[in-house]
Amino acid sequence: MKWRSALVWVAAIDAGLFAAIGIHDVDREAIAFAVLYIAGLALLQLGRRGILGVILIGLLSLDTEFWMATATVSNLQNGESLIAVAQPLAVAIATAVTLIAVVGTLITREPRSGHRLWTVAGLGLAVFVVGFAGEALLASSALQARSGSLQLNIHNAAYSTKTLTAGSGQATVSIANQDLFWHTFTIDKLGVNVLVPVGGHRELSLNLAPGTYIYYCAIPGHRQAGMQGTLTVR
């Protein structure tokens, strides 16, 4: 199999993985990445070499590889569950293979002709992965919060609540990220900026004085999309 044919297959697998995660977890960002990978497959058919498709797939895979690899390491270091480690690891491996295929395609300068059949087959494989592997590989992980702690779940690029209330003094905040992408729990007034990776769970203890505090996700664009809330301390 030539590099371009390999690229179609592995990009289709990436699209299928993102679609499976997005459908199973109702994750808009994951579904958006699946759509972008499919767009990359379509762009492979434009021009003699389909260079726009190669570049788009390469950029998507490079971005995904960084965040999934670091999420895998972070979850391992923090003793997360097997599924919390396996999910980003699986995506990281898939996108690493895709990056190899992207480099091979760019170096060999293979022409586009004759690969429509591979595109159709690759898209069919993506549909198969969505239908067959979604439930088996991508079970979600729930946070077991300690009694008395403030619990905050992150799902579909949104906090589970936009209002938290606590008494003054010591308080524990338990955070679970059920999305495929990183998020943060940030409170500027307290100097708090907790990074929560894919499938990650984090707890932090705060010494709170009475007042109101804005918490938000510091990942670019997330706060503007509504990831913000208010912690009220009485």
User: Stretch 49-66: mean pLDDT, rounded?
Assistant: 93
Residue 234 near residue 211, CB atoms below 8 Å? no
Give tens-digit pLDDT for 179-197: 988 999 999 999 999 999 9
- Domains contained in the chain, CATH given: 3-137 (no CATH), 150-233 (2.60.40.420)
Look at residue 24 and tell me whether its pLDDT is greater than 70.
yes
What was the pLDDT predicted at 121? Answer: 54
What was the pLDDT predicted at 126? Answer: 57
What was the pLDDT predicted at 130? Answer: 53
Under the banding of pLDDT at 50, 70 and 90, the label for residue 29 is: confident
User: Stretch 4-30: mean pLDDT, rounded?
Assistant: 86
pTM of the model: 0.75
3-state secondary structure the chain: CCHHHHHHHHHHHHHHHHHHHHHHHCCHHHHHHHHHHHHHHHHCCCCCCCHHHHHHHHHHHHHHHHHHHHHHHHHHHCCCCHHHHHHHHHHHHHHHHHHHHHHHHHHHCCCCCCCHHHHHHHHHHHHHHHHHHHHHHCCCCCCCCCCCCEEEEECCCCECCCEEEECCEEEEEEEEECCCCCEEEEEHHHCEEEEECCCCEEEEEEEECCEEEEEECCCCCCCCCCCEEEEEEC
Spatial separation of the C-alpha atoms in residues 150 and 233, rounded to whole Å: 12
What was the pLDDT predicted at 146? Answer: 47
Give tens-digit pLDDT for 103-156: 999 998 766 555 555 555 556 555 555 554 444 444 444 444 444 579 999 998
Angle between helices 28-43 and 116-137 (to 10 degrees): 160
Chain centroid offset of residue 202 CA: 17
